[in-house]
Structure 1
């Protein structure tokens, strides 16, 4: 009988892997998962092409695989950032049209020649640049004021 590995680090409660290697290290047991990028692509495609209602964890997984912030995904789906957050936290279900659009974005992003893929990559790059902005502050006594970089 094969031991299945619960891939909890995926952020999904229902992903089990067959074919991973466990071994001992000086720090304790460790598991090696080969071809992680291919695994994430397979998980993403399984979610995106499924007919079931996406869970919040699945919405989050696809968003992260698309390398989008909650704000950017909200903009793409014409909803608020809070709405995306509520979907991901499981407070509300993602409605059918938004789910189909998210699934379509994911599937298209994996296509080498997809025109949407280039747009999604540009969005992801812009989001990374926005997260990389360095904020500097200068102390003036007990106050802190923004300091131009």
Structure 2
């Protein structure tokens, strides 16, 4: 059994799917299908029956490649509020916990609209111009992007 502590997690134990070995820097471990392991851990966290810990919330956020700033914008709070949740300085709001679980589950389940929203949240420093064109199918839009 291996205690998986990536991202500060303390409650994940691997029964298999890893190899321990010696390196020139000391003991090491390698994981079979690391991407699959991370997704499985996130799905387990998002669906667990007990509340998310601060570390678990952060792990889900990072798995989605969302910054604290992006999550703060989504939740209507500052990035410092998100940091305080993750450092256990203030309690994690139930709505934030629910939203993170739902976003991860929908994203992992292939919901393209949620994936697009997550991608949009990941791009925080851009200016968009939306160009509208009338076509035979009705009005359509295109985005022109520039980085600031």
The two structures share one fold, judged by TM-score above 0.5: yes
Instruction: Give the C-alpha shift of residue 94 in structure 1.
Output: 1.4
- The residue number in structure 1 matching 2:11 is 14
Gaps of 5+ in 1: 131-149
Moved over 6 A (4+): none
- 1:1-149 equivalences in 2 (<5 Å): 4-19=1-16, 20-124=18-122, 126-127=123-124
Instruction: Give the C-alpha shift of residue 29 in structure 1.
Output: 2.4
Instruction: Give the C-alpha shift of residue 68 in structure 1.
Output: 0.7
Q: Deviations over 1:81-112 (max 9, x none)?
A: 12111110011221222211111111111122
- The aligned length equals 125
CA contact (8 A) 2:7 2:55 kept: no
Instruction: Give the C-alpha shift of residue 49 in structure 1.
Output: 1.1
Q: Deviations over 1:13-40 (max 9, x none)?
A: 1111121211223443221111111111
Partner Cα separation in structure 1 for residue 53 and residue 8 of structure 2:
11
Q: What CA RMSD, in Å, does the superposition of the two structures yield over aligned residues?
A: 1.7
Moved more, 56-65 or 44-53: 44-53
Partner Cα separation in structure 2 for residue 73 and residue 15 of structure 1:
25
CA contact (8 A) 1:55 1:93 kept: no
Partner Cα separation in structure 1 for residue 99 and residue 110 of structure 2:
19
CA contact (8 A) 1:66 1:106 kept: yes
CA contact (8 A) 1:111 1:117 kept: no
